[in-house]
Amino acid sequence: MGTADGGVIGATKIVNNGPDNRRFNLVLLSEGYQQVQLTQFSADAHAFVENLRATVPFNGSMNAINVHRIDVRSTDSGADDPVAAGGTGATARTYFDATFGNGGLRRALVVNNSLVIQTANSLVPAWSMLMVLVNSTIYGGTGGHVAVFSVAPSANDIGLHEMGHTAFHLADEYEYYQGCGIDTANNHHPASEPSEPNVTVNNNRNTIKWGNLIAPTTAVPTMRNPNCANCDSRPSSAPAGTVGAFEGAHYYHCGAYRPEYNCKMRALGQPFCTVCSNVIRLELTRFAGP
Ligand SMILES: [Zn+2]
Ligand SMILES: [Zn+2]
């Protein structure tokens, strides 16, 4: 498994908004595509870019972004899917060794990150963010320095969420670690303030990080979790898009707040909240010059 199971074909700049040394360079790499499937990879990469282009706040910031595609062929199509993590037991000879089931969680899809980085370094050395598209219809993905996601429907939202972490230093806004009703050590967030701009332990409207975005008529805290032993599953008490302080964030049921009831950093399929959108927009302005 590995470099003997395929080969690197080359890089293509598919969105060109200027010189790489002055833009945010998103690099999409193929994994688990056979040579004859690379036209499909080209289409899948294009679809991801169209999704990015349609997502607030990237829709207004695309002039800051270049996108590169790195075509890599694999001997087999797909990814390993170990039985131990609830998979089918399928194995696939692929260049970056993609496998589902990392840590026993089937949807945790990982690759050989160092080989991905080495490949990008040699072809697009100015890369800002690496994403590996895995040619499998099984839902999965993971983040970190290298974002990985399958081509299953909606899995490319994993890529957008992971961009929030890796490129824009946003925190997870959800209030569980392993899962609601599973965690036993996530009732109360530690007292220390998280460094990320979209979660806080502070519920004082005068000093909260995003206080300038909270309307005087919005209560702060906006929602408190009545049962710190579990996630708060109630619907929002405020209209969608209200910025306030919603308890339950950063893996804890209580003692940590998020800016809006929902956000892509909390749940896939949701838009980025106003605070997260502003952070992304501001960061991208650094890359939007001549
Ligand atoms: Zn996350
Ligand atoms: Zn957010």
In order of start, what are the domains of the chain with their CATH numbers?
3-166 (3.40.390.10), 172-267 (no CATH)
Return d(Cα 149, Cα 135) in angstroms, integer: 9
pLDDT at 1: 58
CA of 191 to the centre of ligand 1 (A): 21
Burial class (CB within 10 angstroms; exposed 0-12, middle 13-18, buried 19+) of 87: middle
Residue 56 DSSP symbol: T
Q: Which ligand sits nearest to residue 173's alpha carbon?
A: 2
Parallel, antiparallel or unpaired: strands 6-15 and 65-74? antiparallel
- Take residue 199 and report the two structure tokens written for it: 């979660």
Return d(Cα 242, Cα 260) in angstroms, integer: 6
Q: Which ligand sits nearest to residue 260's alpha carbon?
A: 2
Parallel, antiparallel or unpaired: strands 252-258 and 246-249? antiparallel
Q: What is the pTM of this model?
A: 0.92
pLDDT at 3: 86
pLDDT at 2: 78
Name 179's Cβ contacts closer than 8 Å, sequence gap at least 6.
none
CA of 114 to the centre of ligand 2 (A): 30
- Take residue 3 and report the two structure tokens written for it: 């470099």
pLDDT at 66: 98
CA of 104 to the centre of ligand 2 (A): 28
For the chain, what is the mean pLDDT? 96
Return d(Cα 232, Cα 59) in angstroms, integer: 32
Q: Which ligand sits nearest to residue 144's alpha carbon?
A: 1
Could you check whether the bond before residue 57 is cis, i.e. omega within 30 degrees of 0? yes
Residue numbers of the chain with a pLDDT score lower than 70: 1
- Contact status, residue 164 vs residue 276, Cβ threshold 8 Å: yes
Task: Compute the 3-state secondary structure of the chain and give helix, strand, coil in percent, each to the nearest 5.
Answer: 25, 20, 55
- Contact status, residue 147 vs residue 110, Cβ threshold 8 Å: no
Q: Which ligand sits nearest to residue 161's alpha carbon?
A: 1
Nearest to 142 by CA among 129, 127, 155: 155
CA of 56 to the centre of ligand 1 (A): 18
